[in-house]
Amino acid sequence: GVNPGMRMLDKRWPSERMAALADRFSLQGFHIVLTGAASDLPVCREVASRMTYPEPQILAGCITLGQFGALCQKADLFVGGDTGAMHLAVAAGCKTVAIFGPSDPNRYAPFASPTQAQFIWREVQLPGGGVGQGRVIDFSWERGVTVDEVWVACQQLLGT
């Protein structure tokens, strides 16, 4: 499962990177499912439109939290940002890679063993106790987490 959405836009990993990552999984035969709230539907469609390989299934706004948890129990892997969905995926027992932007994973990362969940982060100076309020002055995804870094973390969790 892939959850590209995020209410705070500065914390959202760029859709072109999410699409490139999803394409790598598609090439290995994985079925891609894009999840999120109804408000995440536009970004899910954007990710899907940027993908080169088989069209993903978009479930943003179509499933309940309970159904999302059940989906995570069946999924091989969940990749997403610093969101509630990421914590639900971990709670459901799904292997999870969390991509952090302008928030502190030392405070907000999931409580899980490194064999179940990993986070990737470029340390930034954060105002007010660990999460960016509004725009963060010294943060840019251009210097942020790369597709290759997320791919390596995913492969480690999957044991491939």
Q: CA nearest 6: which of 101, 126, 77, 116?
A: 101
Specify the pTM: 0.86
Residue ranges of the domains in the chain? 2-158
As a whole number of angstroms, the distance between CA 6 and CA 16 comes to 15
- For the chain, the average pLDDT equals 86
Pick the range with the lowest mean pLDDT from 83-97, 115-129, 130-144: 130-144
Tell me the Ramachandran region of residue 129: left when phi exceeds 0, alpha when psi lies from -120 to 50, beta otherwise.
left
pLDDT band for position 122 (cuts 50, 70, 90): confident
What is the predicted pLDDT for the residue at 54?
82
> Is the domain covering 2-158 a CATH 3.40.50.720 domain?
no
- 3-state class percentages of the chain: helix first, strand second, coil last, to nearest 5: 40, 15, 45
Sign of CA dihedral 47, 118, 69, 132: negative
Cβ neighbors of 34 (< 8 A, separation 6 or more) are: 1, 2, 3, 4, 22, 44, 47, 48, 56, 57, 58, 59, 60
